[in-house]
Chain A
Amino acid sequence: ADWQAGMFDAKSLADAVKAMGGDNYTISKDVSVSGPEIAENGAVVPVVVASAIPNTEMIAILVEKNPNPLSARFTIPAGTEASVSTRVKMGGTSNVHALVKADGKWFIASKEIKVTLGGCGG
C-alpha cells in the first residue's frame, strides 16, 4: 500500500481514523489489543492486534496520546491471519487501539497501557 502522509500526520485519534476512511466504527469484542498492562520501556512496547471478524482486510495500531496516533497499518491478504505483533513507542500512559476494516465496515478495540517511572517493590 502507498504511504500517505495524511493519516500519519494526523494529530488526534479522530483525525487519524478519518484519514483512513473509518470515522464510523463500532466497538467489537471480536477485535483485540494485547500488550503489557505496564510497559517495561515506553520506547519498546510489544502490542498484538487481532481480529476474529471474517474478511478482515486491514488492521491499524493507534496510540491515542502520541503526538501522531497512527503507528502502523497492515493490509491482510486472503490466507494471512488477521493478527499482527509489533512494538511501538509510547510517550506516556495511553489507550492503544486496534482499528479493523472488514467487508467495508470498521471496528475498534482498546487497551490501556501504563508507562511508569519505576522503582520500589515487594
Chain B
Amino acid sequence: MAINSTAAFGAGAADTLYSLPRFGNVHFLHFTDCHAQLKPMYFREPSVNLGLGDAYGRLPHLVGEHLLRAVGARPNTREAYAFTSLNFEKAAQTYGKVGGFAHLSTLVKRMRASRPDAVLLDGGDTWQGSATALWTNGQDMVDACLALGVDVMTAHWEMTLGDKRVQEIVNKDFKGKVDFVAQNIKTNDFGDQVFAPFSMKEMNGVQVAIIGQAFPYTPIANPRHMVPDWSFGIQEENMQKTVDEARAKGAKVVVVLSHNGMDVDLKMASRVRGIDAIMGGHTHDGMPAPVVVSNAGGKTLVTNAGSNSKFLGVLDFDVRGGKVQGYQYRLLPVFANILPADKEMDALITRIRAPYEARLGEKLATTEGTLYRRGNFNGTFDQLIVDALMDVKQAEIAFSPGFRWGTSLLPNSAITMEHLMDQTATTYSHTTVSNLSGAMIKTIMEDVADNLFNPDPYYQQGGDMVRVGGMTYAIDPRGKMGARIQDMRLDGKPIDADKVYKVAGWAPVAEGAQGEPVWNVVGGWLRSHKTVKARKLNAPRLIGVKGNPGLIA
C-alpha cells in the first residue's frame, strides 16, 4: 500500500483543520467509545499509559511529547491539546470543549459531502456513560445514532443493558438501518452465531465487508448475568474464517470494526490474513496515525479513535484492479467551538435532555482542582470517589474500578449531578463494603494488574488498574502474575496477609448486589462538602519503568 499523506496533521490552523480532500474511492468514517456523551465536554488524555515488552515505546503506549514527536506534532498547539495531557488546564481554556453529537454530526456531514458513499462505523461503548443513557435505557443514544446516520456497529458496554434490551434495539430500532455485527458472540448451548458476523456494502462499485468484533471479555469485565446465554472471546480462528468467507463472497476491501483494544488488535493484525484495516476502540487511544502491521497475507492498518465523541476517524482507500492500492487516514478532533452545532441534532439532544435538565444541572459542589479519570493507575476524579467512599462508609480502604470512560473538569468549576453520573452511570453501580484479608486484597490487585500488564495482549482485558484509596503500594509492572504488587501499607504499616480490613467499593460484577448507588453516596458527600479541595493522588510507587515513554515524569 502506498501512503498518500504520512503527516498526521496539516498546519493546524482552524480553517484548514477540517478540509480533508477525498482520496481514492472507498471511505470509512469511524467513532468509538463515545460513552453516551451527547454534549461537548473536556477530556484529559492520559499522562500514564505504559507499554512493556514488545509494546514499549510504541503506539498506543506513548504520552505527552513522546506521542507528539512520534506523529510529527508540536507542543502548545491545538493538536497537542487534542492528543495529550500537556498543559491541560491552559489548553482547555484556550481551545475549549471537545466532542458532542451536534458538532460530530456537522463533521460527519462535511466528510460525507465529499464522500457520499462513505460508511459510518460505530465501534461500541455508545449506549453507556451518561445519566440520560442510563435513565432512558440507552434510547437517547439509539435515537442520536440513527440521526447521525450510523451504518454498522459492534458492542461492549451496550451488553450491560441486558441481552433482551440489546436484541430489542437491534431487531426494532435498528432494523433495516444499522447492521449490528459481531463474529465473536455465540450462544452458550450449541455455539450458534447471535448476530451477523459481517456486513457487506457496495461503495462506488467496490464490494466491502465490515466484520464486527465485540469486546471479547464482556462477561468477565462486566456482569455475566446480563448476558447469561452468550459467549464471547477473541475467536481468532473464526475471524480468519470470516475474512475468508467475506473475500469468497466478493469483498475487495475487508475492514474489522473492533472493540478488542489496540494491543489485541495489533496482535490480531499480525496473525490473521486478508484484513485491510482494523478500526479499533475499547482502550480509548486517540491515535493520530495508524500502525501498519505485516502478516502472512500482506499489510493491515490498525487505528484507534479515542473516546467521548472527541474524534472522528476518516479512512480512504484507493481500490483499483480489485485491490487496495493506497490509503489516507486522519483522526479529526471535534473542536466544539470551530465546528458549529448541527441544528437537527442539537434540537434532538435538547428534546432528549428536557425531562432531566433539573436533575442533571444540580450543583453538588465546586472543585478547586482539575478532575479527570484516565491513566493507568489513578485519576483525581477516582480519588474523589474513593475518598468519599472511605469517609461515608467508614472504611479503611476503598477501591474504584479502572474504567477508562469519564469526562474531565477544570479547576474552580461546578460539579453537577451530570458530571458525577459521567463517572458512575452503569446498570450495576451498587456500593459494597467487604471485610477482606490482606491476602485477598493482594490477590485482587495482582489479578487486575495481570489483566493490564500481561506481556501477551490476548490475556489483557483493557481497562486500567483498580484505583485504591487509603492503602499505598508499589508495583513492578514487568513482574510475573503474583509478583507485581509490593509494599502494601496502611498508615505506613505493612498490610498483614491474615488481618481483615474494611474495604469499600462499587460496581460488583456478581449477581444480587443491593448496595446504595455510588452516585447517591458520593453525591451526598459532595453536597455536604460544597467545596472540594484539589485531590492528593494516591498513585503507587512505580518500579522499573523509569524513562518509559508511556509516562510523563
Contacts and interface: CB of A to CB of B under 8 A. Distances in A.
A contacts B: CB pair < 8 Å: yes
Interface of A: 34, 36-38, 40-41, 44, 46, 93, 112, 114, 116-122
A74 B83 CA distance: 55
B284 A120 contact: no
A119 B509 contact: yes
A121 B461 contact: yes
B466 A120 contact: yes
Given A46-B231, A116-B447, A118-B509, A38 B282 contact: no
A38 B264 CA distance: 13
A122 to B, nearest CB: 4
A122 B464 CA distance: 7
Nearest to A85: B191
Nearest to A35: B233
Contacts, number: 87
Contact of A122 (B231, B261, B454): B261
A38 B284 contact: no
B461 A120 contact: yes
Contacts of A112: 459
Contacts of A44: 188
By CB atoms of chain A within 10 A, which of B222, B459, B463 has the most?
B459
A114 B449 CA distance: 13
B221 interface: yes
A83 to B, nearest CB: 12
Given A121-B156, A122-B261, A40 B221 contact: no
Contacts of B443: 117
Contacts of A121: 156-157, 215, 217, 221-222, 401-404, 461-463
A84 B282 CA distance: 33
Interface in B70-107: none
Contact of B283 (A93, A114, A118, A122): A122
A46 B466 CA distance: 29
B448 interface: yes
Nearest to B223: A118
Given A117-B447, A120-B466, A40 B219 contact: yes
Nearest to B35: A122
Nearest to A119: B509
B444 A40 contact: no
B460 to A, nearest CB: 9
B458 A120 contact: no
Given A117-B444, A119-B448, A122-B283, A40 B220 contact: yes
Nearest to A48: B237
A120 B224 contact: no
Size category of the binding interface on chain B:
35 or more
B221 A118 contact: yes
Given A38-B217, A116-B220, 18 more contacts: A36-B216, A37-B456, A40-B220, A41-B219, A44-B188, A93-B481, A116-B450, A117-B447, A119-B221, A119-B401, A120-B448, A121-B221, A121-B463, A122-B33, A122-B261, A122-B282, A122-B404, A122-B463
23 contacts: A38-B217, A38-B461, A40-B217, A40-B233, A44-B188, A114-B450, A116-B450, A117-B447, A118-B221, A118-B224, A119-B221, A119-B448, A120-B402, A121-B217, A121-B221, A121-B222, A121-B401, A121-B403, A121-B461, A122-B125, A122-B156, A122-B404, A122-B464
Contact of B403 (A93, A118, A120): A120
Contacts of B454: 114
Interface string B12-38: 000000000000000000000100000
Nearest to A112: B459
B308 interface: no
A41 B448 CA distance: 17
B232 interface: yes
A121 B458 CA distance: 15
B62 interface: no
B224 A122 contact: no
Contacts of B405: 122
A120 B231 CA distance: 18
A67 to B, nearest CB: 20
Contacts of A119: 221, 401, 448, 466, 507-509
Interface string B393-406: 00000000111110
Contacts of B292: none
A36 B238 CA distance: 12
Interface in B141-163: 156-157
B401 A120 contact: yes
Contacts of A38: 217, 220, 451, 459, 461
Interface string B437-475: 000000110011011001010110111101000000000
